[in-house]
Structure 1
Amino acid sequence: MQILLAFIVGAAVGTGIHFLLHQRLTRGVVVAPMAGAISAGLAWTILTWAGIGIDTPWPWLAALVVPIVVVYPLVIVLTRVRLAADAREKERLGIV
């Protein structure tokens, strides 16, 4: 049941990153929180399957750090890709 806490922490971190970075309108509202939740849950699962118990700080720390490491660059890349695609489409349509 504690894995739910990892999902919640990951989603909260993803939400924070979504609102921290600029160009929010170029990506979906759920992309960053979902990526954060998935990465935190995956890190938690890997650590518990490796035998690291929840009585140690490592799963808790991983649930906080891994979403930051994963979601921050992901959101930056998605934003740049979307802006480039929008610029190409505007150029193709002759909208400038």
Structure 2
Amino acid sequence: MYIVLALVAAIAFGVGVHFALPRRSLRGVALAPSIAGGIAAIVYAVCTWSGLGEANPITWLVTLVVAVLISWVGTDAISRARAARDAASARRLGLV
């Protein structure tokens, strides 16, 4: 059951990532929390399979830090790609 708490915490941090990054209008509100939740599930499972206990603080720290970092980088990369694609489309159509 500890994994549920870890996933909820990661998703909450993902919401924070969404609001911390610029270009919010170019992505959905669920993108960053989805990335954080998915990564947290994978990292938590790997930590427990590698022998770390479920209640071990290292498991929680690694899970949450990796989930936030990958969510931050992934969300920013997707937002930048969307902005570049929108700018290229606007130039191609002669709107700018």
Unaligned segments of structure 1, at least 5 residues: none
Runs of 4+ in 1 over 2 A off after TM superposition: none
The one-letter code matched in structure 2 to 1:64 is L
| Contact 1:27/1:79 (8 A) holds in 2 | yes
Query: What is the aligned-residue identity percentage?
Result: 38
Q: Distance in 2 between matches of 1:32 and 1:44?
A: 18
Identify the residue that residue 95 of structure 1 maps to in structure 2.
95
Please say if residues 37 and 67 of structure 1, whose CA atoms lie closer than 8 Å, have aligned partners that are also in contact.
Answer: yes
Counterpart CA distance in 2 for 1:64 and 1:9 is 8
Q: Deviations over 1:25-72 (max 9, x none)?
A: 111111100000111111110011111112321111122211122111
2:11 aligns to what?
Answer: 11
TM-score by length of 1: 0.93
Is 1:55 aligned to 2:55, yes or no?
Answer: yes
TM-score, length of structure 2 as denominator length: 0.93
Report if the CA contact (8 A) 2:2-2:55 is conserved.
no
In 1, the alpha carbon distance for the partners of 2:63 and 2:10 equals 6
Name the counterpart of 1:29: 29
**Contact 2:14–2:68 (8 Å) recurs in 1:** yes
Residue in 2 aligned with 1:69? Answer: 69
Does structure 2 retain, via aligned residues, the 8 Å contact 1:10–1:41?
no
Aligned-residue CA RMSD (Å):
1.1
Give the gaps of 5 or more residues in structure 2: none
Report how many residues are paired. 96
